[in-house]
């Protein structure tokens, strides 16, 4: 999305072999920062330790700016929102959001520690014509069990499914109140931002970035968000089963969601304040799927908090060591940027340690980076 300060109007953004291996690891970790930057690679191989902690439940493993302003053919990589692993490509996909002059596209890259672009895919309508900034604002991406791509767009909003060739196959039902005003209660550029599918492929979560006008409390609090939950049907599609409520920290927005385990959901909360920088936190809602159905709750803002999903802090990127990162604009921590994509690497499971990737949207701006950060997180 195009960044703003906040959705809150007051802020609105064994033996010798082991010894040799140890020596090689030590020499790699001892590389000067300048050499690591020249490679576009920043990493600190280590066991989780307090030195690399990003709060009590996360540690930073490294970051890379190798994709920042990267020119591939006649196009430049940038404007990346969402992140999802494509097992058939053995690569991660990130979608280009609403960017002037750009077609709706997924960029694919491998090796997160030192990413290389391995392909791209333009997203097309059923008639074969490409989506572009006039009718598409890609924000969420997930790969379904059959290999097709599910993408959310903030424009209407919508959730569409595209085949492996990038051609639209069908879309999911969106409740009327989620439409952008005046058609509904949503604010333009603050609709379906987060999208993820459960590891078993049965459940899809689509999260609202901003608050619906009907969910603003009588005291003006605008912190409650709705997350649409879809369940797979016998025909291979997904039916809307319920809505769950989630409360962001004051001033934050939902930038992305990532499902894990049978019932869990990671939520990436973000904010931006001019001349200060970004706030990036990852929370876990370990029982999200079991949360109360709030579809019939007219106003979340004045409803009892018991209806909302319980959350706990997993990672605060602002608390991470900077690892030699630099920032082209003021930041509380130079590792920070406009992170809008998040996914767990394959093999991550609830009740253990997982590998979490975050990617930032540079909005094709000189004051922002396309940066990929790798974290180890403890999943509740």
In a domain, 3, yes or no: no
Residue with tokens 């767009």: 153
Residue 276, pLDDT above cutoff 70: yes
Alpha-helix residue ranges (DSSP H) falling in the chain: 16-29, 33-38
* Residue range 281-337, pLDDT digits in tens: 999 999 999 999 999 999 999 987 678 999 999 999 999 999 999 999 999 999 999
Q: What is the CATH number for 174?
A: 2.115.10
DSSP state of 58: E
DSSP state of 201: S
* Residue range 91-134, pLDDT digits in tens: 999 999 877 788 999 999 999 999 999 999 999 999 999 999 88
In a domain, 9, yes or no: no
Cα separation of 266 and 279, whole Å?
16
In a domain, 8, yes or no: no
Number of structural domains in the chain: 1
Cα separation of 225 and 89, whole Å?
34
* Residue range 177-226, pLDDT digits in tens: 999 999 999 999 999 999 999 999 999 999 999 999 999 999 999 999 99
* Residue range 242-265, pLDDT digits in tens: 999 999 999 999 999 999 999 999
* Residue range 346-367, pLDDT digits in tens: 877 767 899 999 999 999 999 9
pLDDT mean over 58-85: 96
In a domain, 5, yes or no: no
For residue 116, which of 143, 90, 139 has the smallest C-alpha distance?
Answer: 90
Which tokens is 223 given? 């912190």
| Containing structural domain, residue 247 | 16-378
Give this prediction's pTM.
0.88
Q: Give the pLDDT of residue 13.
A: 38
In a domain, 126, yes or no: yes
CB 65 within 8 A of CB 371: yes
Q: Give the pLDDT of residue 305.
A: 67
Average pLDDT, the chain: 88
In a domain, 135, yes or no: yes
In a domain, 11, yes or no: no
Q: Give the pLDDT of residue 340.
A: 97
Q: Give the pLDDT of residue 12.
A: 34
Q: Give the pLDDT of residue 52.
A: 85
pLDDT mean over 71-87: 95
* Residue range 158-186, pLDDT digits in tens: 999 999 999 999 999 999 999 999 999 99
Over its C-alpha atoms, the chain yields an Rg (Å, rounded) of 20
Burial class (CB in 10 A: 0-12, 13-18, 19+), 307: middle
* Residue range 14-42, pLDDT digits in tens: 333 333 333 333 333 333 333 333 333 45
CB 218 within 8 A of CB 302: yes
């Amino acid at each position: 999305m195009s960044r703003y300060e906040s959705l809150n109007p007051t802020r609105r953004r064994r033996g010798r072999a082991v010894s040799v291996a140890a020596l090689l690891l030590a020499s790699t970790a001892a590389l000067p920062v300048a050499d690591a930057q020249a490679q576009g690679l920043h990493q600190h191989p280590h066991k989780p330790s307090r030195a690399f902690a990003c709060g009590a439940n996360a540690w930073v493993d490294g970051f890379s700016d190798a994709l920042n302003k990267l020119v591939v053919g006649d196009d430049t990589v940038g404007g990346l929102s969402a992140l999802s692993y494509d097992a058939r490509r053995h690569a991660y996909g990130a979608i280009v959001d609403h960017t002037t002059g750009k077609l709706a596209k997924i960029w694919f890259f491998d090796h997160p520690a030192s990413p290389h672009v391995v392909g791209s895919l333009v997203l097309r309508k059923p008639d074969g014509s490409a989506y572009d900034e006039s009718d598409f604002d890609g924000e969420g991406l997930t790969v379904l069990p059959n290999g097709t791509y599910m993408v959310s767009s903030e424009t209407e909003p919508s959730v569409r499914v595209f085949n492996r060739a990038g051609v639209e196959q069908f879309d999911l039902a969106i409740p009327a109140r989620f439409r952008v005003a005046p058609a509904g209660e949503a604010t333009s550029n603050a609709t379906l931002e987060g999208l993820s599918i459960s590891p078993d492929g049965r459940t899809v979560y689509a999260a609202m970035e901003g608050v619906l006008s009907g969910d603003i409390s009588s005291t003006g609090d605008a912190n409650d968000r709705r997350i649409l939950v879809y369940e797979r049907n016998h025909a291979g599609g997904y039916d809307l089963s319920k809505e769950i409520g989630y409360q962001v920290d004051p001033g934050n927005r939902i930038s992305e969601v990532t499902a894990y385990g049978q019932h869990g959901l990671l939520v990436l909360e973000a904010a931006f304040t001019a001349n200060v920088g970004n706030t990036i936190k990852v929370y876990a809602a370990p029982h999200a799927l079991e949360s109360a159905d709030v579809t019939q709750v007219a106003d979340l803002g004045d409803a009892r908090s018991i209806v909302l999903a319980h959350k706990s802090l997993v990672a605060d990127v602002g608390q991470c060591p900077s690892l030699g990162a630099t920032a082209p604009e003021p930041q509380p921590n130079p590792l920070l940027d406009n992170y809008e994509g998040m996914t767990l690497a394959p093999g991550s499971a609830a009740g253990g340690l997982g590998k979490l990737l975050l990617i930032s949207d540079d909005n094709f701006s000189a004051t922002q980076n396309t940066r990929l950060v790798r974290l180890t997180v403890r999943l509740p």
